[in-house]
Chain A
């Protein structure tokens, strides 16, 4: 293994500065990726307590929707090419949310009292969705044709190179976080959602249709996963199993942040992303990821409630 000092010694000072800027940016874009993935789960798992192991597949669904939109645009409306991506994000949200509502109606609502069984059932769902993607879109990874404005990179100086798609994903995740915050804490539906999570019986007693709220919440979480998947198409290609690759990371982000805490999710995805991108610079290959995950699990053993535990008794 090469030692970092030896690596650093080969560069000049300004080059080192550029490395730090770009490495920092890599950490930031990993942060926005993790945050995007975790936001939907923070609602489904953090708020509702449903362990949705098919969350990754809902992201893949969103990504495939963008691919589908891109194909349709290229075949039928070539003039629409520069703008389709924005519409595709909306399609990804709606399709993933509709499927989420259906899954809640047909499966999840019977299992709220049996969390461990939910876990197995949603794992089964994820297998079925993966195979469905494989049968419909093929086993190979696909990439949508991205509009021109998402390509290329900023070059503030000679040596610094910041890709535009990274900035786009970052902007989208910040926008989405803000949107969810406003929705959850400033709207009437958000109030109903929080009330149902905190005290289901009492919420029902004051006239909230808790069954409907559950379905809506679950669908919204799935829709957000779909948007996350749509955002990913700007960074990497999509395969049938690309969702399942991230599922553990996503759950760890939510658990580490403290289930039920939006702020915790943000802070923990920031911390995990920075730790991972730094350790990947120093350690080789997958070991950076192993070290980061191991650190999280060890911290969770000492502090199982996560960074920002919710104060509500269960």
Chain B
């Protein structure tokens, strides 16, 4: 129990952080916002799954993927395929020339369900696919690249290319995927109408609970010895490799974990928003998700959630009121985060906290921030290597 408290909740300050976030998500936001705005927040929180994955991957392992939209999209498409099949029952699609298949297939002169779609008639399969398909793709890509020691900017450029390929591929196969419009008009989940207000509330709370779960899982991973190795790899990869660790396998694991989380986020997006399209897969959404994580502070799991909420709220406020200024603001944000505050919101919070609240316990406070300086993590690597 004590171990759970120390490792997963992150001791006192970690638990307080989780509790504050939970109160915000479960009590303050649902009470303060109307159903429409809350649904928007729910949508943003699905991006936060990707951002949390990026904190693991980028902030704590030093691997920047510009293709996380791939996994978000794959998870989303797996869920959407199930929902679409349920929505296109024979009686719902009587007017089509081939009843019982999704409408866009009928428009594209398909006369039977493609083999790829058939297993998605089953809910357990779809649920598994939401997690496993992204993880599997990440496994293939990650194994191919990390085993050959491709990293840094090359990895970023290639994952970006993959995001482009997937979005173009979905776009180009209209009969199979719904093309540019994506999969729309999703109605029920196992007979339960997901468009009602009650359903939206239930889905919002499910999303929050799963997000907190994802953060706790990430905390657990980071608190193990593997977490320390990941941190060490980020700063001195060769040193970890020469200590006898298989660096690539650790990276592949984190990449798969981040992908699976993104997939869950994608599935929750589809449930709450009711559609998925290639525009959520491509280059732009993938790199925007990186800025969510960067805004919150790339080392901070909780920061990722706040960063996502803040950037998206800013985005919707700007695009409602000053649409021309939004790209300037977003571009400026990218530059500012990199040049002025590389540790994001979490960094600002930490510096404020150490300055004003914990004069006596300064050392303790820095100890709690993961990976503030390189020296600390090298020391960690050495303890990991010796034990």
Contact = CB atoms under 8 A, between A and B. Distances in A.
Contacts of A251: 157, 160-161
B289 to A, nearest CB: 12
A123 B157 contact: no
B164 A248 contact: yes
Contact of B150 (A110, A117, A304): A304
Given A248-B283, A290-B165, A128 B327 contact: yes
A192 interface: no
B338 A111 contact: yes
A252 B161 CA distance: 8
A290 B282 CA distance: 13
A296 B161 CA distance: 10
B328 A123 contact: no
Interface residues of A, number: 43
B321 interface: no
A300 interface: yes
Contact of B161 (A126, A130, A248): A248
B379 interface: no
A164 interface: no
B28 interface: no
A115 interface: yes
A131 interface: yes
A126 B338 contact: no
A68 interface: no
A290 B169 contact: yes
Nearest to A300: B158
B387 interface: no
B172 interface: yes
B153 A51 contact: yes
B117 to A, nearest CB: 19
B137 interface: no
Chain A interface secondary structure, helix, strand, loop or mixed?
Answer: helix
B18 interface: no
Residue from the set A116, A251, A293 with the largest chain B CB neighbour count within 10 Å: A116
Nearest to A127: B331
Interface residues of B, number: 44
Interface string B209-249: 00000000000000000000000000000000000000000
B5 interface: no
Contacts of B158: 255, 297, 300-301
A289 B169 CA distance: 9
A49 to B, nearest CB: 8
Contacts of B327: 127-128, 130-131, 134
Residue from the set A51, A110, A300 with the largest chain B CB neighbour count within 10 Å: A300
Residue from the set A119, A134, A135, A251 with the largest chain B CB neighbour count within 10 Å: A119
Interface string B132-162: 0000000001001100111011101110111
Interface in B274-333: 283, 287, 290-291, 294, 324, 326-328, 330-333
A290 B161 contact: no
A94 to B, nearest CB: 24
Given A127-B330, A285-B172, A119 B156 contact: yes
Contact of A125 (B165, B169, B331): B331
Given A111-B338, A128-B332, A301-B148, A120 B161 contact: no
Contact of A131 (B66, B164, B290, B324): B324
A297 B165 contact: yes
Given A120-B290, A248-B161, A286 B64 contact: no
A196 to B, nearest CB: 19
A21 interface: no
A123 B294 CA distance: 13
Interface string B25-52: 0000000000000000000000000000
A289 B152 CA distance: 26
Contacts of B164: 248, 293
A251 to B, nearest CB: 5
Nearest to A294: B165
Nearest to A255: B157
A124 B157 contact: no
Contacts of A111: 338-339
A6 to B, nearest CB: 19
A115 B337 contact: no
A260 to B, nearest CB: 12
B153 A120 contact: no
A289 B172 CA distance: 10
B172 to A, nearest CB: 4
A286 B168 contact: yes
Residue from the set A51, A287, A297 with the largest chain B CB neighbour count within 10 Å: A297
A105 to B, nearest CB: 13
A107 interface: yes
A121 interface: yes
Residue from the set B168, B283, B290 with the largest chain A CB neighbour count within 10 Å: B168
A126 B171 CA distance: 24
Contacts of A131: 324, 326-328, 331
A248 B160 contact: yes
14 contacts: A51-B157, A110-B339, A114-B338, A120-B337, A125-B331, A127-B331, A131-B326, A248-B164, A252-B157, A252-B161, A287-B173, A294-B165, A301-B158, A302-B148
Interface of B: 58, 64, 66, 141, 144-145, 148-150, 152-154, 156-158, 160-162, 164-165, 168-169, 171-173, 283, 287, 290-291, 294, 324, 326-328, 330-335, 337-339, 342
Given A120-B338, A251-B160, 13 more contacts: A115-B152, A116-B64, A117-B342, A129-B331, A131-B331, A290-B165, A290-B168, A293-B165, A297-B158, A297-B161, A300-B158, A301-B158, A302-B144
Closest 3 pairs between A and B when the two form their complex, measured CB to CB: A124-B334, A127-B331, A128-B331
